[in-house]
A and B are shown apart, each in its own frame.
Chain A
Amino acid sequence: MSLDFTEHEEAFRAEARAWLAEHSPGRLPSMDTTDGAAAHREWEKKLASGRWSVVAWPEQYGGREVSLTEWVIFEEEYYLSGAPTRITQNGISLLAPIIFEHGTPEQQQRFLPAMADGTDVWAQAWSEPEAGSDLAGIRSTATRDEARGGWVLNGQKTWSSRAPYADRGFGLFRSDPAAERHRGLTYFLFPLTADGITVRPIPQLDGDPGFAEIFFDDVFVPDADVLGGAGDGWRVAMSTAGNERGLSLRAPGRFMAAADRLLDLWRERGDETPTLRDDVVDAWIGARAYQFYTWGTVDRLQDGGDMGAAGSVNKLFWSDLDVDLHETGLALLGADQELRGEAAPNGGRWMDDYLFSLSGPIYAGTNEIQRNIVAERILGLPRGEKRS
């Protein structure tokens, strides 16, 4: 890397690299299986024991309070070491920033340390059967229960990642039946074992139950588990929607590591399909572009800027890159590309990762919605007929 990292940053990189080299378990069974989930939790405990699970967090919650630059450095080293994807990711990158910003000190104490060491795995429960891209169409309700000092949840959430093996959920519910769209929503935290909750796992395209439906049948949630103010859920949820440590700034290490695997595959098999040369090179160029782009974003954020609608540009790029890169990998495998499991080249990793990449253009806001955002908020094109 031709960038001038400070001595401190280089030392941090070296420390992370050394620790990961010693401890990384490599690839684990899918986190969306009973054994895999347990193994991933085990790994989170290990990471936490070395203070590597949430490096950007304050020390009191298990972090090292590192800079954004160092966070990206850590992520680079993490993926280069071949360490597994994080079962705690939804909690750490989607929920934690909101708890830091809107949670009470009691909530921070109760939830963050248990999230940091993998004791609590969190599932995000936003989508509903009728509320996908149009999230403000949420229908699940929260009814006030003054006597018990809390709320009663009813309704259905769906596509909730990790929910089959998770401990807790976070989601938006309509607490004011008279209010419409973005108004009258409240942000709730709840144990998935609460009375009245039924979790129905849903197998994904790869066969494993990576997400689930969650049914709420008179589920009581005390006031202590409301995040932010009642009725203020949309604003609370969106305040960190473009959070730099969230999905919008997905660390480049992941794509560089995948591009390196593609180059290895090209070394092995390139002779058989030389016409794939351009696709291989373009995948690597894409990963390199993403790396440089990220360093530019890091500078902007450290100078006090925010991600804003650029998060949509970012998401469009990495999600398409991820699919293209893995399609190229599969193309290099020829007839073996359809194989899965141990008999498949590289233990089936190319197909597993490809199937996962296919969901990238759908989750975290579909790519069509992202293109609308880029066109309207960045290019300034007219919104046209009213959507709210």
Chain B
Amino acid sequence: MRFAMSAEQRSFGDALTGLLTASDVPAANRAWAAGDDTAGLRLWEKLAELGVTALVVPEEAGGIDGTPLDLAVAFECLGHHGVPGPWIESVALAPSLLAGTKHHDVLADVAEGSARVTIAAPPLAPYALDAGSATHVFLLEADTLSPARSTRALTSVDPSRRLQAVEADGPREILADDAVARGLDLATLACSASLVGTGERLLRDSVTYVGQRRQFGRVIGEYQAIKHALADVRVALDFARPLVHGAARGLESGDDDATRDVSAAKVAATDAAHLAARTALQVHGAIGYTMEHDLSIWILRARALAGAWGSTSHHRGRVLDHLMRS
């Protein structure tokens, strides 16, 4: 039995971290929010070169047929660095949805990094992220997929999430149930991993800050009220990640319980990221309450993702339904 990540998965994560640390992602995130895609698209290309966009695209479609755990590793990094764009939609969801359709050849372009797909999937994700700049826009209603076009721009609490309301605009195709279920599970998994990364970033930046900020003649990190609050964040994140990885392993082996575990992961990751965000804001004081401070990128991201791909209430319901059946 092995639960831990493989050496390859660890070095893949290290490579992503290296790239993203060296790129000024917060600047790209802010530019993206302001409608300037240049830096964000450059990041997209670089991440594609490392294989992120090809992760779960089948080999015959130009992908690398990686595992859901690979996806979780990548999305934790994307979340940690605040990378903007329709990553969940293109990289986690599109491969399952498009594979059996007449749009399947889009996947080769997704894998290569030249296509950016966005998909609205009401009710879990009713609006399409970045529909204005994606190369392909789809609408998934129950088991029906259609090309779509935007009707109206909406504003998210996270300015880098540029949402659009969309409507069907092209021939519909009925998808196989398991393609839809798997796609949505992978999207939820990716979102959960992203939330864990978001929480980790909030914790890291908070630890740095409380080690520097002085009040009453000492760094505030010496105060037990601060220490204990941050320790609780450490615990919450340390127990959310194994659920994400456990769910990923279940999806990989086609386990019946995997769907339930994906939902459990979303609940725990959302709660942990939320605790991280609340705590980070509190230990930063007023500076954390500004848009100017980069902390806002992750505080607002944690809030936005809490409802995306299913709220905690939705996912708790799914967990319970599954448990009551078994």
Give the segment of B37-45, B115-123, B179-187, B227-235 that binds chain A.
Answer: B227-235
Q: Are A317 and B230 in contact (CB under 8 A)?
A: no
B210 neighbours in A (Cβ, 8 Å): 381
Q: Which residue of A lies closest to B219 (CB)?
A: A382
Which chain A residues in 256-309 approach chain B with CB under 8 Å? 263, 266-267, 277-278, 280-282, 284-286, 288-293, 295-296, 298-300, 303
Q: Are B267 and A371 in contact (CB under 8 A)?
A: no
On whether A372 and B227 interact (CB within 8 A), knowing A285-B319, A299-B2, A381-B210, the answer reads yes
B235 neighbours in A (Cβ, 8 Å): 313, 316-317, 374
Check: A240 CB closer than 8 A to any chain B CB: no
Give which listed residue, A4, A368, A370, A374, contacts B1 with CB less than 8 A.
Answer: A4
Which chain A residues in 108-163 approach chain B with CB under 8 Å? none
Check: A388 CB closer than 8 A to any chain B CB: no
Which chain B residues in 275-326 approach chain A with CB under 8 Å? 313, 316-317, 319-320, 323-324
Q: Are B319 and A3 in contact (CB under 8 A)?
A: no
Q: Are A378 and B323 in contact (CB under 8 A)?
A: no
B interface, size bucket: 35 or more
Q: Are A288 and B243 in contact (CB under 8 A)?
A: yes
A281 neighbours in B (Cβ, 8 Å): 267, 316, 319-320
Give which listed residue, A6, A277, A288, A375, contacts B261 with CB less than 8 A.
Answer: A288
Q: Which residue of A lies closest to B267 (CB)?
A: A285
Q: Are B249 and A3 in contact (CB under 8 A)?
A: yes
Q: Which residue of B lies closest to A289 (CB)?
A: B239
Check: B79 CB closer than 8 A to any chain A CB: no
Looking at A291, A293, A376, A379, the one whose CB has the most chain B CB atoms below 10 A away is: A379
Give which listed residue, B207, B245, B255, B257, contacts A380 with CB less than 8 A.
Answer: B207
B255 neighbours in A (Cβ, 8 Å): 2
Check: A5 CB closer than 8 A to any chain B CB: yes
Check: B215 CB closer than 8 A to any chain A CB: no
A372 neighbours in B (Cβ, 8 Å): 224, 227-228, 231
Check: B103 CB closer than 8 A to any chain A CB: no
Q: Are A300 and B4 in contact (CB under 8 A)?
A: yes
Q: Are B231 and A278 in contact (CB under 8 A)?
A: no
Interface SS majority for chain B: helix
Interface SS majority for chain A: helix
Check: B36 CB closer than 8 A to any chain A CB: no
Which chain A residues in 52-70 approach chain B with CB under 8 Å? 69
On whether A2 and B234 interact (CB within 8 A), knowing A293-B242, A375-B228, A382-B221, the answer reads no
Q: Which residue of B lies closest to A260 (CB)?
A: B323
Check: B250 CB closer than 8 A to any chain A CB: yes
Check: A9 CB closer than 8 A to any chain B CB: yes
A266 neighbours in B (Cβ, 8 Å): 320
A310 neighbours in B (Cβ, 8 Å): 238
| Distance to closest chain B CB from A108 (angstroms) | 30
Tell me the bound Cα distance from A288 to B255 in angstroms: 15
Looking at B210, B221, B239, B245, the one whose CB has the most chain A CB atoms below 10 A away is: B239
Give which listed residue, A69, A284, A379, A385, contacts B234 with CB less than 8 A.
Answer: A379
Which chain B residues in 237-270 approach chain A with CB under 8 Å? 238-240, 242-243, 245-246, 249-250, 253, 255, 257-258, 261, 264, 267-268
Give which listed residue, A2, A4, A375, contacts B230 with CB less than 8 A.
Answer: A375
A291 neighbours in B (Cβ, 8 Å): 246
Tell me the bound Cα distance from A282 to B253 in angstroms: 25
Q: Which residue of B lies closest to A70 (CB)?
A: B1
Q: Which residue of B lies closest to A298 (CB)?
A: B3
Check: A384 CB closer than 8 A to any chain B CB: yes
| Distance to closest chain B CB from A223 (angstroms) | 43
B316 neighbours in A (Cβ, 8 Å): 277-278, 281-282
- A6-27: contact bitstring with B at CB < 8 Å (1 yes, 0 no)? 1001000000000000000000
B100 neighbours in A (Cβ, 8 Å): none
Q: Are B246 and A381 in contact (CB under 8 A)?
A: no
| Distance to closest chain A CB from B218 (angstroms) | 7
Q: Are A292 and B320 in contact (CB under 8 A)?
A: no
Q: Are A379 and B242 in contact (CB under 8 A)?
A: no
| Distance to closest chain A CB from B9 (angstroms) | 13
B170 neighbours in A (Cβ, 8 Å): none
Q: Are A379 and B231 in contact (CB under 8 A)?
A: yes
Tell me the bound Cα distance from A370 to B227 in angstroms: 11
| Distance to closest chain A CB from B208 (angstroms) | 10
Q: Are B238 and A379 in contact (CB under 8 A)?
A: no
Tell me the bound Cα distance from A199 to B221 in angstroms: 44
| Distance to closest chain A CB from B232 (angstroms) | 7
Check: B222 CB closer than 8 A to any chain A CB: yes
Q: Are A292 and B227 in contact (CB under 8 A)?
A: no
Q: Are B207 and A296 in contact (CB under 8 A)?
A: no
- Given A263-B324, A266-B320, A371-B231, 15 more contacts at CB 8 Å? A3-B3, A284-B264, A285-B319, A289-B239, A290-B239, A292-B3, A296-B242, A299-B2, A299-B3, A316-B231, A368-B228, A378-B234, A379-B234, A381-B230, A382-B211
List 5 interface pairs A-B (beta carbons < 8 Å), by A numbering: A4-B2, A277-B320, A313-B238, A316-B231, A384-B223
- A-B CB proximity, top 5 nearest: A384-B222, A375-B227, A292-B242, A295-B3, A299-B4
